[in-house]
Amino acid sequence: MTNKKSKKAAANKDNGLDKKTIGLTAKKSEDFSEWYTQLIAKAELADYTKVSGCMVLRPYGYAIWEKIVKEVDSRLKKMGVQNCYFPLFIPESLLKKEEQHVKGFAPEVAWVTHASDTKLDERLAVRPTSETIMYDSVSKWVRSWRDLPLKLNQWNNVVRWEFKHPTPFIRTREFLWCEGHTAFATKEEAEQEINDIMALWKEITENYLALAGVAGRKGEAEKFAGALASYSIEYFLPNGKAAQGPDAHFDGQNFAKAFDITFLNEEGKKDYVWQNTWAITTRMLGIIAMVHGDDHGLIIPPRIAPIHAVIVPILFEDSKKDVLAVAEKIRKELEKENIAVEVDARETYTAGWKFNEWELKGVPIRIELGPRDLEKQQLVLFRRDTMQKETAKITAAAAAVKRKLDEIQQSMLSKSRQQLESSIVAVKSVPEIAAAVKAKKAPKGFFCGSAKCEAEIKEKADGVTSRCMTLDSSDKKGRCVVCGKEGTVTYFGKAY
């Protein structure tokens, strides 16, 4: 009979938390789900909780999110966006004001019905998104064209009580995001902002997260509830599934009419504002892990890595003092170049154990330094992305590390782009879509965008949906894979 202690050990092992086995025991190519579960836990990005579908962002995972927040936030401010904060709780009467919106979110809303033992006069929704609570206030603030544009953003959490299979970062009941809400006097201004936001998402995801995706417009069935049009960047993952990245929604005047957000234009006439919403979420951490990670662990793009380089001194009693002194000198030189670096001088672990741990956590560069290296006045640089080593002069350590970080960043984006391009296959029918997804490919074909055709694809291709219709004007038109009407080049996939 298994005792309590062994049961606990078995449970920890199942959750990827067995500290005796620091590395991953599942292969990415053989058991993607188990590999990802172990990766998230053992690399200390996140942990599970007693609340089903909700996770803990551990300090290392949160530090990566903070890097993303910093880059996005600084650019939004340059675009005139101001940060604010609205309540977590939304009265039911407000949530119901926009019919399409409440219909789209109703199945996912968590409700507060009591305060202690006292039943509330009106149910309060735990924020699934903030349009309704924000626009009730915005309707009071906007009176004239001089009050526009109004550009607001929240860095907050939202709760969507989905009952699908939860996956850390990718699909959780609570997640973090930026929640942008903007209002303009004209349709043209609102549409231009959609272009600007999508360009921002492309810059962040490619130049910082090193992720190559496909940008485009959503079909009618996949667009945001209450929007006239939705746009997103979609990612095709090594397990054959797709995941939606950052998005932007052109809401037109739907919410303005529901919440009476009106203003006097320059001609003195009353008009409704034109609105947009947009977001990037902690889902990106999961996509980074899935796309870049390997059987050794995470691989973090340097520009969002909490630690750029770790120095692992090879310690022996007779040379320890000299090695540590040089390691400290190198650390200071790297920090002068704004390179985040740590010296792992722990003597309770072997050098090999440390190598495995930092590889698991995806630190871009490892610097190995031992007594023989001091004799040669060199150090060993290990690149996490290629698992390759080379030597550099100790006196040129900062320049060598800086150069390698740039190389790693570009190489990771190039590899991601190659993986995307090699997975794309052309399709002309629903059966071909289903076959491509089953083969872990990214099917691309023509699609009219209608909800009816979307439903047929989903039914006949085992849950596959259109991910996005490309925006490239050079793409030719063709016949929809379902109805035969004119369609746009579209990517399909089975999404998380």
pLDDT digits (tens, 9 = 90+) for 197-241: 999 999 999 999 999 999 999 999 999 988 999 999 999 999 999
| 371 and 431 inside one domain | no
| 69 and 157 inside one domain | yes
| 213 and 124 inside one domain | yes
pLDDT digits (tens, 9 = 90+) for 406-461: 999 999 999 999 999 999 999 999 999 999 999 999 999 999 999 999 999 999 99
| 326 and 467 inside one domain | no
| 323 and 276 inside one domain | no
Q: What is the CATH number of the domain that holds 427?
A: 3.30.110.30
Cα 356 to Cα 25: distance, rounded to the nearest angstrom: 13
Helix (H, G, I), strand (E, B) or coil at 371: helix
| 64 and 160 inside one domain | yes
Bridge partner residues of 392 (DSSP): 379
- The DSSP code for 297 is B
What is the span of the domain harbouring residue 126? 56-285
Point out the domain boundary residue: 406, 438, 460.
406
| 462 and 347 inside one domain | no
User: Do you know the residue count of the chain?
Assistant: 496
Point out the domain boundary residue: 406, 433, 462.
406
| 313 and 376 inside one domain | yes
CA atoms within 13 A on the CB side of 305: 30
| 69 and 129 inside one domain | yes
> What pLDDT was estimated at residue 473?
63
Mean pLDDT, range 305-329, rounded to an integer: 97
Residue found under tokens 């009979």: 1
| 280 and 319 inside one domain | no
The domain total for the chain is 3
The helix (run of H) or strand (run of E) holding residue 382 is: strand 378-383
The helix (run of H) or strand (run of E) holding residue 121 is: strand 118-126
Cα 480 to Cα 468: distance, rounded to the nearest angstrom: 14
Q: Is residue 17 part of a domain?
A: no
| 233 and 329 inside one domain | no
Instruction: Tell whether the model's pLDDT for residue 15 goes beyond 80.
Output: no
**Is pTM, for the whole model, over 0.75?**
yes
Q: Is 45 exposed, middle or buried (0-12, 13-18, 19+ CB in 10 A)?
A: buried
For 160-252, where are the E strands, in sequence order?
174-184, 214-217, 229-236, 241-252
174-184 vs 150-159, strand pairing mode: antiparallel
Cα 410 to Cα 53: distance, rounded to the nearest angstrom: 35
Q: What is the CATH number of the domain that holds 66?
A: 3.30.930.10
pLDDT digits (tens, 9 = 90+) for 16-39: 334 445 799 999 999 999 999 999
pLDDT digits (tens, 9 = 90+) for 102-140: 788 888 999 999 999 999 999 999 999 999 999 999 999
Point out the domain boundary residue: 406, 433, 452.
406
Which parts of 379-485 fold into alpha helices (H)? 397-423, 430-438, 451-460
> What pLDDT was estimated at residue 162?
76
Residues 443, 437 contacting (CB under 8 angstroms): yes
Q: Across the chain, what does the average pLDDT equal?
A: 93
Q: What is the CATH number of the domain that holds 386?
A: 3.40.50.800
pLDDT tier for residue 477 given thresholds of 50, 70 and 90: confident
pLDDT digits (tens, 9 = 90+) for 157-194: 999 987 677 899 999 999 999 999 999 999 999 999 99
Q: Is residue 33 part of a domain?
A: no
